[in-house]
Amino acid sequence: MSDKYQGFVQSPIGKLFVKNLGLPNPVELERYVEGAPLVDGTVVVGGDGRLADGLAAVLDGLGIASTDTTEEGASYKGLVFDATGITSSSDLVRLQEFFGPLMRRLDTCARLVVLGTEPSATDSPAERVAQRALEGFTRSLGKEAGRGAAVQLVYVTPGAEAAVESTLAFLLSPKSAYVSGQVIRIGATGTTDAVSVQDWERPLAGKIALVTGASRGIGEQIARVLHRDGATVIGVDVPQAASELQGLMKELNGDFLTLDITGKDAPQRIAHHVKEKHGGVDVVVHNAGITRDKKLANMAEDRWSSVIAVNLTAPERITRELLDQGAINDNGRIVGVASIAGIAGNLGQTNYAASKAGVIGLVDALAGELTDGITVNAVAPGFIETKMTAAVPFATREVGRRLNAMSQGGQPVDVAETIAWYANPGSTAVNGNVVRVCGQMMLGA
């Protein structure tokens, strides 16, 4: 649905109001266009840790122009700082020295990334303290950067240096338009290995991706983006959505399965279908979800049970069945769709928030168990413009839209691009993460 306020602030009178009343000023976020270069500008690389030497080559391999010297009068589209060399609190001043002078020289929608060492993998208490401090720095910089800029912290476990490529490709490009203030871990659980990507335009060529709730909203965009990246998509949705689902899958040259994921035999039917028809599955996205909001005091049992059944029990059962049957191929991907409600809680959503926190629990429970390069991660969307959020009352909707560092709602494609990054074959060392796609919402962490 359209954001009328965002249109208004672009008008001459709107600009006057914003300036004089200090109103939120959402900029139009840049989003990735198929076939365009990942970064439309130059990225400045700084820092002197264990990643610094290889960064220019990684960016070059992605077709991203970078420099380690800044020029008078030039502006920049991205900044990457290797902070793994920071081993004490007094070293933290290097962040201020690098970022401070460059903050006024950023292009619109600039992408900023700090690379650090997972605090629990450091060599000394002083280093652990300093690395932990990076989190406060990046989260605050995300809130003050403005003009559509995003700031992330990526903790790279020692040994996983070669595995940063797919994550930098995502975080430095407009694919991460609505992701900011996040802490991402590479190599913290599972493997620290890197898998090289043959074709960055179609990284999922030859892969099979199953997406539940694919007929509309966020699920439809996930299907579209995974298809763009080369995957054959199997869309799953309820029989009532069959015609939309079939139409979309026809357009994407995909396959479909109409069933209720809470059905007793749904996991077996899905496993049977992917094995018999496709020889297995590479990417499983548990997107289907419902809300049945009511304060707990007024909540009937069926509102509670249906939300838990669709959002949590079904992903649990389907994942277990696919794993037990060996239907997920090596280097496969399992992706959950949580919600910021599952992190911060939300009035009237005890059922929904419990189900979405449970999705995060599913990631935690599985991350250490998976083998053969299979990963499990989740996205936690904030306010995304869909039919689900269009139904929210006006005042609540405006609060959801504006209470984030970007002063606007996200688009379904923002969630889809984040899932495509997890799905990328180069993201084998990205395991056990929960990344919020929320424009750095003020609710929760």
| Nearest residue (CB) to ligand NAD, 46 versus 235 | 235
Respond yes or no: is residue 352 known to be catalytic. yes
For residue 44, give the nearest of 14, 7, 69 by alpha carbon: 69
For residue 157, give the nearest of 399, 355, 430, 397 by alpha carbon: 430
Report which residue's Cβ sits closest to ligand NAD: 289
Q: How far apart are CA 94 and CA 87, in angstroms?
A: 11
- Distance spanning both ends of the chain, measured CA to CA: 27
User: How near is the Cβ of 219 to ligand NAD at its closest, in Å?
Assistant: 5
The answer to whether residue 172 forms part of the interface with ligand NAD (CB under 6 A) is no
Residues 6+ apart with CB under 8 A from 109: 27, 29, 30, 147, 148, 149, 150, 174, 177
User: Helix 217-228 to helix 412-423 angle, to the nearest 10 degrees?
Assistant: 50
Stretch that binds ligand NAD, among 85-93, 271-279, 323-331, 378-386 (CB under 6 A): 378-386
User: How near is the Cβ of 94 to ligand NAD at its closest, in Å?
Assistant: 37
Q: Could you identify the residue written with the tokens 């993201």?
A: 427
Site for ligand NAD in 130-169 (CB under 6 A): none
Structure token digits, residue 418: 């984040």
Q: How many CB atoms lie within 10 A of CB 199?
A: 10
Site for ligand NAD in 190-229 (CB under 6 A): 212-213, 215-219
- Interface pattern 383-422 for ligand NAD (x via CB under 6 A): xx-xxxx---------------------------------
For residues 162 and 191, the answer to whether their CB atoms sit within 8 Å is no
The answer to whether residue 440 forms part of the interface with ligand NAD (CB under 6 A) is no
Site for ligand NAD in 41-80 (CB under 6 A): none
Identify the residue among 154, 209, 310, 443 touching ligand NAD (CB under 6 A): 310
Structure token digits, residue 212: 């539940």
For residues 224 and 252, the answer to whether their CB atoms sit within 8 Å is yes
For residues 180 and 152, the answer to whether their CB atoms sit within 8 Å is yes
155, 178, 352, 422: the catalytic one is 352
Q: How far apart are CA 419 and CA 414, in angstroms?
A: 9
Site for ligand NAD in 234-263 (CB under 6 A): 237-238, 241, 260-262
User: Helix 266-278 to helix 314-324 angle, to the nearest 10 degrees?
Assistant: 40
Count of residues interacting with ligand NAD (CB under 6 A): 27
Q: How far apart are CA 184 and CA 228, in angstroms?
A: 25
User: How near is the Cβ of 35 to ligand NAD at its closest, in Å?
Assistant: 26
User: How near is the Cβ of 381 to ligand NAD at its closest, in Å?
Assistant: 4
User: How near is the Cβ of 375 to ligand NAD at its closest, in Å?
Assistant: 19
Residues that bind ligand NAD (CB under 6 A): 212-213, 215-219, 237-238, 241, 260-262, 287-290, 310, 337, 339, 381, 383-384, 386-389
Q: Report the catalytic residues.
A: 352
